[in-house]
Amino acid sequence: MAKKFTSKIGLQPIYSTKDPDGNPATLGEAGCQIMRENLEIIEEILEEKAEETDADGNKVVRSPDGKILSSEKGQDRTKAPDLKLFTEEIEKLEDKVEKVEDHTTNAFIHVQTIEEPGFAVCDVQGNCGLRIDESGKTFMNLDSVSASEFLKEILEKGFAISDRFGFSPFAINAKGETDLNLSKATLKRIKQQLESLDSLLQADYNHIVTYGQSLGEGSQASPILTTSSFSKWGLMFNHGIKTRYATAPTYQSFVAHIERQDAENGETPAAGTADMFIQSAELNESDNKYVLSSCCARGATTVNELSKGTTWYNNIIADVTNGKRIAEAQGKTYRLIAVTWTQGEYDYGNGIAYYKGKLKQLRSDLINDVHNITGDDYSDLPFITYQVSSSYTAGKSYPDIGLALLQLAQEENSGFYMATPIYQLQYADSWHLKNFSSKLLGAYYGLALFNVLFGNDWKPLYPASHIISGNSIYLKFNKKGLTFSKPPYITATITNRGLSLLNASSAEIIQSVTIIESDTIEIKCSESPTGLTLTYGFANSNNRNAGEIRDNSDMTYTIADVIYPMYNWCSIFEYKL
């Protein structure tokens, strides 16, 4: 319990634990508000007293009881810091408050929807200075002085959208001239989104290669679902979707994409990938762009066995070589636009660093080889991945390969983009997905690829930052709309929503897990979590690495007249506190 705090000048305490009366710790916005009010009190004292001088003519600041607190020239007999240093310390505190404000769960100015359809600019108490209702009428809640000054500013200086620090990404001056002040990353994203489809899909035939091991070739995903063409813009080679099962004559033409049963291998993710991408890009007659798909996956293989020099790698090279040849024979252009990567089960236990190095090398080799075939630059070739979620089936409690795929996706400019974990999908056996889940996985790939090519900042769901207060963790995620929901095909009990935090004695210390904001979870612990490692999806849930955290995305995909939600389920992760 904290000690009682008193102040002669009206300063308020901020408690990191319960206060002397047993009230909860002061956190978030409430704590920031107290800090601001304290600073205002100190600033008022500075303003009122700064002009007073002592017998030597030095400016001084006095406390409420008349004692000199500081002297401009440092001659104060109390040895307090001089006025300049005192003021500098206040400014530093203000800066810290602003930084804390940036990390609180509530913003100080909200642009939000209101109860009825429309738009409003409000503060955190719900006071709206500007509101536009559903009919388009504008309402301003300003006093006469504020309204007058507001209109005068617009008439004399123009219009700007700014944050509370005065940074204006967009402004129009009194002459009607427009000024943009945006980061390079933002400008690049806007540029990509404004460019036409011709620029984003640079070729007439745009090739997506499905690669990996058994889940990539649809093992056990039977019966076939894609038995007829899903779009005139979706094509494959005439010999079938799976290159290793190609039937002669091979590489004669492009035909409608139809999946085919080959031994135990049924519906691959390829059809779902192409279909979702075509739907998202809204390809039509005016675009005249086609998506060519081929599957070069091979079951029961490691990343090393899929690397340069192997039969399965060479199948990709054959697909690219012949795809380009057939396109050019028609007077058309060709480009490999992505590789989807569904592999990892056979590499559990090989370690994060090993796997990342092998996969980066594979991508680098493929970029060089495809460049040599086509003459085009492939330095930004995207690898769209899943997150393997079956470490317990492999007899491993540590999901190293799933973590490696997440780390690759988190690295800037790595070229790897993780579409989704797969613990929310239905399995046919210990390793493999049912047919609709295989196609749904493909839809996740297609959606991620669309976002990547069209300049959106695609990332899977994972924690981005945290604050520790006492024994509580405030874990902020990189997406909003957090929801607790049990994966539909998991029957085992999932403790603490899939989260775990072990102390030095390997004892679980999580007591409760609660969503407190759209993007923030509060995790209460029995002792301080500082320095420990928080994990998600590490427990054995029906031989899956699984948890109960997802967003509330409204994306869906329809398979055989059944509508499936495409929530962003939280990545399996370990997070150092």
Structure confidence at residue 407 (pLDDT): 98
Cα(440)–Cα(569) distance, integer angstroms? 14
Structure confidence at residue 80 (pLDDT): 40
Six-digit token string for 178: 């427009």
- CA-nearest of 529, 513, 514, 532 to 470 is 529
Structure confidence at residue 113 (pLDDT): 39
Domain with CATH 2.60.40 in the chain: 463-576
Cβ atoms < 10 Å from Cβ of 565: 15
Domain with CATH 3.40.50.1110 in the chain: 203-453
Asked if residues 467 and 457 have their Cβ atoms less than 8 Å apart, the reply is: no
Structure confidence at residue 170 (pLDDT): 60
Do strands 290-295 and 499-501 pair parallel, antiparallel, or not at all (unpaired)? unpaired
Structure confidence at residue 456 (pLDDT): 85
Cα(538)–Cα(315) distance, integer angstroms? 36
Six-digit token string for 515: 């969503």
Q: What is the DSSP string of 179-244?
A: EE---HHHHHHHHHHHS-HHHHS-SSEEEEEEEESGGGGTBT--S-S--S-S-TTEEEETT-SBGG
- CA-nearest of 494, 298, 303, 308 to 404 is 303
- CA-nearest of 495, 513, 503, 484 to 577 is 503
Cα(85)–Cα(264) distance, integer angstroms? 76
Structure confidence at residue 38 (pLDDT): 75
Residues 6+ apart with CB under 8 A from 510: 496, 499, 500, 501, 523, 524, 525, 526
Residues in the chain predicted with pLDDT less than 50, given as ranges, are 1, 64, 70-83, 86, 96-117, 124, 164-165, 196
pTM of the full structure:
0.71
Top-level class of domain 203-453:
alpha beta
Do strands 68-71 and 60-62 pair parallel, antiparallel, or not at all (unpaired)? antiparallel
Cα distances (angstroms) measured from residue 383 to each of 122, 148, 379, 571 = 42, 56, 11, 17
Six-digit token string for 138: 């504008």
Structure confidence at residue 457 (pLDDT): 81
- CA-nearest of 452, 465, 359 to 405 is 359
Asked if residues 160 and 173 have their Cβ atoms less than 8 Å apart, the reply is: no
Top-level class of domain 463-576:
mainly beta
DSSP state of 440: H
